[in-house]
Amino acid sequence: MKLGLWLLIAGVAFLWFNHAKKQRLKHGRRSNGQPAQADDIARDPAADAERILACAHCGLHVPASDALVDASGAVFCCAAHRQLHSQA
């Protein structure tokens, strides 16, 4: 019974300290009152977002991984538009 009580107290203390740490980081402070550093704060999900490029022929926006690029560096949404643009 005593072991269960000590485990419960330890679990509550762990959760409380973990929550307090997240709050300090969220508000840009360390535990010693110093401002948080860039590596202390979680990465911004938008930093991992894929670039979106506009087709040189029709203007359609496509993800960079799906875009087609010709020798001149122009970006296209499909092979047909790349071919039409090279003929013009």
**Total domains in the fold of the chain:** 2
Contacts of 79 (CB under 8 A, 6+ apart): 68
Please, which residues bridge with residue 77 across strands?
Answer: none
Per-residue pLDDT tens for 23-60? 776 766 555 556 555 554 555 566 668 899 999 999 99
Enclosing domain of residue 19: 2-40
Classify residue 57: in a domain, yes or no: yes
- How buried is 82 (Cβ within 10 angstroms: 0-12 exposed, 13-18 middle, 19+ buried)? buried
Classify residue 45: in a domain, yes or no: no
- Domain co-membership, 36 together with 54: no
pLDDT at 29: 55
Two structure tokens written together for 8 = 């419960």
Spatial separation of the C-alpha atoms in residues 88 and 76, rounded to whole Å:
14
Classify residue 35: in a domain, yes or no: yes
Classify residue 17: in a domain, yes or no: yes
Mean pLDDT over all residues of the chain?
81
